[in-house]
Every structure is written in structure tokens, then in C-alpha cells.
Amino acid sequence: MTPTAAGEAVTAPSRLRDNPDFRRLFAAAVASKVGTHVGYIALPLVAIETLRASPGQVGLLGMLSTVAFLLIGLPAGAWVDRMRYQRVMVVTDVVRALLMSTVPVAAWLGVLRIEQLYAVVLLAGVATVFFDVAAQSCLPGVVGRDQLVAANSQLNSWDAALQVGGRGGGGFLVQALTAPLAVLTNALGYVVSAAFLVGLRSGPRPDRAARRHLGTEVVEGVRFVAGHPILRPVASAGALTNLAVITVTTMVPVVFRDDLGLPVWSIGVFLSIGGVGVFLGALTARRVQDHLGAGRAPWLLGLVTAPLALLVPLVGRGGWLWLAGVCWLLVTYRVGVANVLLVSFRQRVTPDRLLGRMNATMRFVFTGALAVGAGLAGLVGEFASARAALWTGAAILAVAWLPIFLSPLRRMRDLPSA
């Protein structure tokens, strides 16, 4: 097998296809994501159509779905490092399936209340924290660190494709089956995911002899990320990107509706363009790495797309709408490539015993950035204008690559080792 510049085999995709544990992990991820993206549309529509929820109640429902990452994200990493990753994923899939199935059952019995939806999304969010941390921590043991870019490329590209198609399909399912029945599709996705994961065999076992106080282990994980010359800039770049993207996407509907008077469907099309860009970036990340180098690709693409990000706030009618759409596609393409490469960096440089805590720390930082970005969009939009909020997000996107450029990754062509 001929090695590439990044030290991976040219036959990496075929090697992954020949890996039964990766096939199980991949199939579980697809099944889980299909259900999740359908639920992303179906659950708010249950609140709106079945329970006649107010905008404030729908907003609270959305917040509760992600708040668990901020509440328990850091200790979850330490807990996951103490357990078998495969067992964590199976149990949390089953828990999420049971929680989601209570929604259609309660709707059929006529006893569904908004408080039940709040509890379901909050508890499912807690389970998702553990599942996501375990899944990202499990991957290096399943495929080997030399296969991480190829594996993450496949997983992230399918996730992006399912985000576009799954949410669109969720709308059709809600229309065809009603919202509570569509939620049942979410539950079935988790059941199928758990079935695939039951047979998963590879992955590191927890080191029970090394256990210490939970707080000490949490602090160790945070210090590892904050003090690492590669993980620290990766966290900074990811946080800036998340903050910027959520700032833009939060205000796009307001600009399209109030400033431009465009139809509602155009908002969905524009935001879907971002999903397409992420999909294409994830799909081609390994080829980009081979041509530019794993360390140089994230900042080189950032440098190229920085001016394009500053054209997105100029969105208007006619040609300006097309220009903004093309620029958004290219900017999110860079995000898709960076997602694959930077996740692979994280997994490759982290020792097995710290994988859960590292991933939990990163998720905590990235989710916090999403919360700050949504709040920033609201503040700038309220006290300045929605267009000013777009400019704020675009300006941050234009510099989000700088932490990588200023780090040791700038001079690295190959992926570093743990």
C-alpha cells in the first residue's frame, strides 16, 4: 500500500469497509442521525400544532435540548472515561428511544402536555451528551489513529447529508403522519442504532486502577486541553466558528423576512446551502489534506474564504442573493473540511485515558460558543439591526482560522501523534 503525505494508506476507504466494527459504528451513526434530524423538526411541531405552544415555549424547548452540554458536559467526560464506550452508547440509545416513544403514546391517550416535552428533550439531551462523548472517544480504538481522517470524513459527510435530507424529510413525515407519529421515527432510529452497537467489540477498556476523585479528573481534562499546544488553538478556532455561524444563521430569517421581504421557503433554501457546503467539505477533506497538508489546510482555506465571508451580509434581491448564496456555500465548505481534520487532530493527540474528558471539554466549549453566539445575534439585532448582526458573524468567520495559523499546526503537513 502506498502511503500518502499524511501517512495514511491510499486504500484507507477500503480498509474501513473491511473493518466490521467501523461498519457497525457507521450504521449506528446513520440510524441515530436520521432519527435525530427528523426529531429536530417534529418535536417543535408537536408543541406548536398539538399543544398550541407560544413562541416563548418553543424557544425554551429548543434551549432545553442543548443545555445539558453546559450543565454536565465536563463531568460527563470523566464518567465516560470510567466506563466501556460501547456500553455507554447502547444504554443512552435505549434511554433516548424510551423517552421519545412517550410522546406519541401520550398524544394518543390525550394526556400530552408541554411540561412532558420539556422533560423529554432535557433528559434526552443528557443522554446525548454521554452518547456523543463516548462515540468520539471510541473511534480511535475502532479504526486506529492512522485512519481517523478517513473515518471522520465518512461520518461527517453523512451527518451533513442527513442534516439536509433528514430535516427536509422530517417535514414531509410530519405532514404525512402527524408530528407525534414522526417523533416515533426518532425513537426507532435510536433502537436501530443500539442494535448495531451491541455487536461492537473494539475500543479501549477503562483503567479502573487509575480512578481518582471525579473533580480531580475533570480538572485534569480541562488542563490537558488548555495547556496543549495543538488542542488549545483547535478549541479556539472551533469556538469562534460556532459563534460566528450561529450568529449568521440566527439573523438570516429576520433579514430575509423583514429587510428583503423574501418568501419563507427561500430562508430554508439559503440555510440548506450551508449544509451542502459542510457535506462537500467533509466528503473531500482527505483529498484536501493530501494536497495541502493536514496542518496547513484549515488555515489556508480560512485565508481564502475570509473575504467571501464578508460578502454574505451584502445579501439582497436578485444577483446579490445568488452571490451571498455562493459565498455561504464556500465558507461552509471550509467549515466542513476543518471539522474533519480538527476532530482527527483532537483524537490523534489525546491518550486513550483522556479521550472522554478531552471530547467533553471540547463539546462544552463549542456548545457554550453556540449559546453566546445566539445571544450575541439577539443583542446586536435588537440594539443595532439584523444586518449588523450578520456583519458581526461574518467578521468573526473571517478571522476564525487565525488560532490555527498562529499554532504549531501551521508548519505541520502530517497529523501529529499522541
In this predicted structure, which of 135-149, 183-197, 200-214, 268-282 has the lowest mean pLDDT? 200-214
Residues 6+ apart with CB under 8 A from 110: none
Residue-level pLDDT at 115? 93
Nearest to 229 by CA among 2, 408, 3: 408
Write the pLDDT tens digit of every residue in 276-327.
Answer: 898 899 889 888 888 888 788 888 898 898 889 999 999 888 788 899 999 9
Q: How far apart are CA 351 and CA 359, in angstroms?
A: 12
Give percent of the chain above pLDDT 70: 88
**Sequence-ordered list of residues with C-beta below 8 angstroms from that of 223, at least 6 positions apart, any chain:** none
pTM assigned to the model: 0.74
Task: Retrieve residue 91's grid coordinates.
Answer: 444504554
Residue 165: pLDDT band by 50, 70, 90 thresholds? low
Give the model's confidence band at 9: pLDDT under 50 very low, under 70 low, under 90 confident, else very high. very low
Per-residue burial over 12-33, b = 16 or more CB atoms within 10 Å of its CB, e = otherwise: beebbeebebbebbbebbbbbb
- Spatial CB neighbours of 152, under 8 Å, sequence gap ≥ 6: 139, 282, 285, 339, 340, 343, 344, 347
Residue type (1 letter), 212: R
Q: How many other CB atoms sit within 10 Å of the CB of residue 9?
A: 15
The whole-angstrom separation of Cα 273 and Cα 325 is: 7
Report all structural domains of the chain as residue ranges with CATH numbers, in order of start. 12-207 (1.20.1250.20), 221-411 (1.20.1250.20)
Listing DSSP states for 94-107 in one string gives HHHHHHHHHHHHHH
Q: Does position 254 have pLDDT exceeding 80, yes or no? A: no
Contact 197, 90 (CB under 8 A): yes
Q: Where are the alpha helices (DSSP H) in 55-198?
A: 55-64, 67-81, 85-109, 114-143, 148-177, 179-198
Q: Strand pairing partners for 3?
A: 9
Question: Residue 120 — very low, low, confident or very high, per pLDDT cuts 50/70/90?
Answer: very high
Higher confidence at residue 10 or residue 352? Answer: 352
d(CA 7, CA 403): 25
**Cross-strand bridge partners of residue 9:** 3
How far is the C-alpha of 250 from the C-alpha of 186, rounded, in Å? 25
